[in-house]
Structure 1
Amino acid sequence: MNTRYLDILKERRSIYNLGKNVTLPESDINQLVETAVRESPTSFNAQTTRAVILYGEKHDQLWDIVANRLKSEVPNEQVYANTKQKVASFKAAYGTILYFTDLSVVADYEKQVPLYAVNIAPWAEQGIGGAQQNVWTALADNHIGANLQHYNPLIDGEVRLAFDIPMDWELRGQMPFGSIEKAAAAKTYVADSDRFKVLK
């Protein structure tokens, strides 16, 4: 049995101690992200997932937007200081991938296949989840750490203006990525007997 893919899956972890010591060229990272998203399946091959890759000043700008936006959401300065520290750990990364769902495509398919219209949006959500996992795993295979954040919808408006995002693109996640400065802690698992059934 070939287990290479399974071995790579085991390398994909939420890495929170990220740095800028990435040696893979940005052009290669772009190709990796683009290929992983392009080849990820979607219902009816609707291809509803969109991605924006941020580096340098644009990456920093995103996390400044997050930090500033969260100030009005926390109860006091002590909590905000902790929040800023957390956001700073994402800003310390090399770059960020923004994931979007193109709602115009979702709406088109709801009209094209009315029998399944109620399922098109949930299926698009499954599609973007698959794309995120594939990108994350491909990054891990290249010794680049990442984690997945969800500051949407709080930051949606400012992100749209800052990065010229089309109105039909709905922000669904933010993935900071970079060098692995500290490995993830050991992962625990629920018992296989509680998770799987094999029937004949």
Structure 2
Amino acid sequence: MATFFEAIEKRRSYYAISKDPVASDERIKEVVEHAVKHVPSAFNSQSARVIILLGKEHDKFWDLTTDALKAVVGDGDFSGTQQKMDGFKAGYGTVLFFEDQEPILKLQESYPLYAENFPIWSEQSSGMHQLAVWTGLENEGFGASLQHYNPIVDELVIKEWNVPETWKLRAQMPFGKPVQEPGEKEFLPLEDRVKLYK
């Protein structure tokens, strides 16, 4: 098991993935549930909602997304996008991240002084959930990437998986067994990004 910092460092964007199993479906669910339970949220709103798509449901999501994108592109060149869609579909599963707007609205009503901040804090919490799940899947041996085809796919997701209207889709995470390592990552100088005063 990797240390916390090793796990954070190993988490990369993997675009070449396969359907070969790496961990059990039950373990995948455990990783996601652990993140949803323990990642913090403002005022303990617990507004994160997650759907895990495996097997034919995973394939269906990327087929529907492909069709939705083709409708947007029209007669334009779709070859590059098709390659991306095929790559995501080649994976084992997809995690859909949502933020439930109902608890956010209740907090806005209860704490009007902070009302404009609750949607911002919701997005921050969603980002933490995404990182936790991503790192957790990486730690199990999966490769993943974070995608954002919302709002184009929002309505089809709501309809296909009976998603409550109050759930706002924020990101999609296809994952699978890595079949190619990501390229070298460049880093900006830390002295320009981190300041210490004492």
TM score, norm. by length of structure 1? 0.96
Equivalent residue, structure 1, for 2:80: 82
Deviation at 1:117, TM superposition (A): 0.6
The aligned runs of 1:1-40 (5 Å cut-off) are: 4-40=3-39
Deviation at 1:75, TM superposition (A): 5.6
Q: Distance in 2 between matches of 1:37 and 1:12?
A: 18
1:136 aligns with 2:122: no
Equivalent residue, structure 2, for 1:167: 165
RMSD of equivalent CA atoms? 1.2
Equivalent residue, structure 2, for 1:196: 194
Equivalent residue, structure 1, for 2:57: 58
SS in structure 2 at match of 1:182:
coil
Deviations 1:25-65 (A, max 9, x none): 10111011111121101010101110000011111110011
Q: Distance in 2 between matches of 1:29 and 1:71?
A: 31
SS in structure 2 at match of 1:53:
strand
Quick check: 2:22–2:140 contact (8 Å CA) kept in 1? no
Deviation at 1:73, TM superposition (A): 1.8
Deviations 1:133-173 (A, max 9, x none): 00101111111110000000001101100011001001100
Q: Distance in 2 between matches of 1:75 and 1:193?
A: 46
Equivalent residue, structure 1, for 2:99: 101
Equivalent residue letter for 1:41 = P
Residue among 108, 122, 125 paired with 1:124: 122
Unmatched segments (≥5 aa) in structure 1:
none
Q: Distance in 1 between matches of 2:8 and 2:22?
A: 22
Quick check: 2:22–2:141 contact (8 Å CA) kept in 1? no
Q: Distance in 1 between matches of 2:90 and 2:3?
A: 31
SS in structure 2 at match of 1:96:
strand
Equivalent residue, structure 1, for 2:41: 42
Equivalent residue letter for 1:67 = T
SS in structure 1 at match of 2:73:
coil
TM score, norm. by length of structure 2? 0.96
Deviation at 1:85, TM superposition (A): 1.3
Q: Distance in 2 between matches of 1:147 and 1:51?
A: 16
Deviation at 1:8, TM superposition (A): 1.0
